[in-house]
A and B are shown apart, each in its own frame.
Chain A
């Protein structure tokens, strides 16, 4: 089948970008979306044009590196599917497909469809962890964790840090990402000691990174390839409120070294 692509091309973060149209010919329905782009790129190189830069690595939906907005929807809009796992059989011959990068101030474009998501790393650096150094751990089974708690923590921990939640949100808010990390660690007994301080510091780092605020539209949940629930956002809101009441902010400020 043949499809027309309307692709965002941008040389670097300083140069403004624009849409360019390409014809993708002889596409086989069993191809993945990124394999289709591979084919287009091979053609472009043969014609002496620079290939489209796009991110991908594992191509099995777990590394979180691939990132493209397909027809207005991050990852293309199939339940629980990253764009690397999206297949061309979901498109029809003659379709026109618009491909864009994640768009957010906090995720500046590096080139074409590749964006800089280091803002997520900075959030984790602030407090997305349990402070335990190598060797400090007690015997693993001395911490008993009810199965339901472990499973819920795992639901949140499944986040792959792809940034689709930010890309989908009309406010480019990172709440789902931050809430997932807060819930993963805050649900587990090991994470209780730092629970409120963590919530406070995560939110501070998120705000400093320039993400928007959450207006509860739930677009993030709809595009999340790991189907992470917005209920974790309510949990973050709750933890943050407790943090304010307890004065965790002062505690966080005084213990930062």
Chain B
């Protein structure tokens, strides 16, 4: 396998323009002869499927939900970045590019990130035209806010529901194409395998979740927009059904998987309240603008928070990071919370929580003002915990939120498999080792609306595809494999539920490969995962039949892939003997406990190639060449 990022030549600022000038085009009359499969209907998938159908390609879009509008992009709260510089505060495409590269701890590919910053401005135009009701100033102009510690106000937002509104925009564009008959939408249809013929991705095998029917779909190109793998940790802010199956199946069929160890932990989530916990809920980071984070100074202190005097409180973020204080970046705030809880000073059930206290802000601004700023978040907190955040400090704890790693793609967003394109959170390309707030929505839409429609055309125009139908023997073979696997899951009839395995895997991953990792823990995880996987295949109990809606069976199939993928994640974390962004190795930290990067040894993208079952995958390295920016160490002191 050779990793060729196919970065266009020329100065950074002109690469994308040059690419579009030099790319080959498909004759408009010929576009309908090309079949494209888009798997996933979130921001990336829906925007890609809609845009490709508008261009005239013959598009089939798949999602496993009852409606494309349910995709998890919908849950993004904060906003979307764009280098519009509407606030005249010194923003520019270059600044957004630089902030993203720096935020990603210099582990992202320069050319991709610059292109992302360039098209960010078009995204806002497109979304407004579609009717996304972004927040406005009284004068009628678009409003912006600063987000995630950025020094400029470049974030566009629609209340706390930006992801929802952007997704609805893309969903409506997609539904318009469906209504016009230019795109076929297949809801409740889950991709279970990728079909590769002569080294090219030529289709997928799916299961209809309502009827259990296994079917094949052939195409000239396959686009995966299937999101991230945060649910390998069981508890995360991801939706319950988010999974790695599509990209992991592609990995097993030959598409390299990049940087799986780059996982982002979000510091302000509502803590776990018991073993039954099914998922974690994120509260907007904006809460840290006015809330103060603390724990008791002594671990023996069991008094209710209101009875702990100031002198016995440790405002540890303000203590450790005097200039950023409670606004320290996500990874730093998260690790600091873990540290104090590991010391035994955590609060709430299980000791896994820290206080986020608004008493001072209420004293300073009044409860009315706080209610105006964060009313909906306080309501959400009360709905879940039954506690009133105005009267008693909220409890928060970090949780897995986003995964920067994903299928390796080149500048065209094509994987190492010809004809397999991967977009949105599912690919690895733009966020390096850490994603900045309000950048995920930007990347998903950039890929779907503006990048893929260009690069996919270039692929069709410059390579040769023979026509293949879904009756090709390779499809039959893959279908049989898929059926056999489902049948095997249904026939084990062991003693443990799917959920109990998922919980166990999640706990193991969180303990050994969560916020902070070390060689010993990772090696231990690498020992225990195969054992757990083996037990799963011998002792899982999946009831019901395959020929109808069977949620346990769906979950079992997804978990089976997580049980293999978890090993890849730990292996990547073990191999990357440095700390960067969301990947923190305890052995590699500065004297102050900050992440210590090793640019000499690790300034590369790790792309793993599958070698067969129970065989260690092979690591390929794509060197990260920085032509424009100089690598520096992040400091938030």
Q: Which residues of B contact A128 (CB under 8 A)?
A: 172, 175
Q: Are A57 and B168 in contact (CB under 8 A)?
A: no
Does A117 count as interface, using CB distance less than 8 angstroms? yes
Residues of A within 8 Å of B10, CB to CB, are none
- In the assembled complex, the Cα of A28 lies from the Cα of B385 at a distance in Å of 12
Let me know if B536 is at the binding interface, CB within 8 A: no
B11 in the interface, Cβ–Cβ < 8 Å?
A: no
Q: With both chains docked as a complex, state the minimum distance between the C-beta of B29 and any C-beta of chain A, in angstroms.
A: 18
B139 cross-chain contacts in A, Cβ below 8 A: 144
Cα A64 to Cα B548 with chains together (Å): 23
How far is B450's CA from A68's CA once the two chains are assembled, in angstroms? 39
* Residue among A12, A117, A124 making CB contact with B66, cutoff 8 Å: A117
Q: Which B residues are in CB contact (< 8 Å) with A30?
A: 273-274, 385-386
Task: Report the Cα distance A148→B131, complex, angstroms.
Answer: 15
Assign chain B's interface to a size class: 35 or more
CA distance A229 to B75 in the complex (A): 22
Which A residues are in CB contact (< 8 Å) with B178?
A: 121, 125
Interface string of A1-36 (1 = CB under 8 A from B): 000000000011000000000000000111110110
Q: B70 near A63 (CB under 8 angstroms)?
A: yes
Partner of A11, one of B47, B54, B276, B548: B548
Inside 8 A of B171's CB, which chain A residues have their CB? 124
Which partner residue on chain A sits nearest B497 by CB separation? A45
Q: Name A151-173 residues within 8 Å CB distance of B.
A: 151, 153-154, 157-158, 160-161
A residues in contact with B51, CB < 8 Å:
133-134
Say if the beta carbon of B614 comes within 8 Å of chain A: no
Q: Decide if B544 touches A141 in the complex (CB within 8 Å).
A: no
* Residue from the list B135, B175, B239, B379 in contact with A58, Cβ < 8 A: B239
Report B122 CB to chain A, min CB distance, Å: 7
Contact B449 A134 (CB under 8 A): yes
Minimum CB–CB distance from A51 to chain B (whole Å) comes to: 6
Q: Which residues of B contact A57 (CB under 8 A)?
A: 65, 70, 72, 239-241
Is there contact, CB below 8 Å, between B159 and A129?
Answer: no
Q: Which bracket fits the contact residues of A?
A: 35 or more
CA gap between A185 and B84 in the complex, in Å: 24
Residues from chain A with a CB closer than 8 A to the CB of B380 are 60-61, 85
Judge whether A62 and B164 touch: CB under 8 Å: yes
CB distance from A156 to the nearest CB of B (A): 9
Closest chain B residue to A43 by CB distance?
A: B497
Q: Give the contacts of B93-143 with A (CB-CB under 8 A).
A: 122, 124-131, 133-142
Contact of B278 among A59, A124, A130, A190 (CB under 8 A): A59
Give bound CA distance, A217 to B210, whole Å.
Answer: 34
Contacts of A65 in B (CB 8 A): 65-66, 70
Q: Which of A85, A110, A124, A125 contacts B549 (CB 8 A)?
A: A110
Q: Which residues of the other chain, A, contact B141 by a CB distance below 8 angstroms?
A: 141, 144
Q: How far is the CB of A123 from chain B (nearest CB, A)?
A: 9
Residues of chain A lying within 8 A (CB to CB) of residue B131:
129-130, 153, 157, 184-185, 188, 190-191
Separation of A211 and B339 alpha carbons in the complex (Å): 56
Q: Mark B415-444, 1 if CB is under 8 A from A, else 0.
A: 000000000000000000000000000000
B277 and A35 contacting across the interface, CB-CB below 8 Å: yes
B365 within 8 A of A: no
Are A136 and B129 touching (Cβ within 8 A)? Answer: yes
Q: List 24 A-B contacts (CB under 8 A).
A: A11-B548, A38-B499, A45-B497, A58-B74, A60-B279, A60-B281, A60-B282, A62-B161, A63-B74, A87-B384, A121-B67, A127-B179, A129-B130, A129-B176, A130-B130, A138-B125, A141-B86, A141-B142, A147-B137, A147-B138, A154-B159, A157-B158, A158-B159, A185-B131
Binding site for A on B (CB under 8 A): 47, 50-51, 54, 65-70, 72, 74-75, 84, 86, 122, 124-131, 133-142, 158-159, 161, 164-165, 168, 171-173, 175-176, 178-180, 185, 187, 210, 239-241, 273-274, 276-279, 281-282, 379-380, 383-386, 449-450, 453, 497, 499-500, 541, 543-544, 548-549, 551-552
A residues near B (Cβ < 8 Å) are 11-12, 28-32, 34-35, 38-39, 42, 45-46, 48-51, 53, 55-65, 80-81, 85, 87, 89, 110-111, 114, 116-118, 120-121, 124-141, 143-147, 150-151, 153-154, 157-158, 160-161, 184-185, 188, 190-191, 257
Interface contacts beyond A59-B239, A121-B69, A125-B179: sample of 14 additional A-B pairs, CB < 8 Å, sorted by A = A45-B497, A57-B240, A59-B281, A60-B281, A61-B380, A62-B164, A116-B210, A124-B172, A137-B129, A140-B127, A140-B128, A143-B129, A144-B140, A150-B133
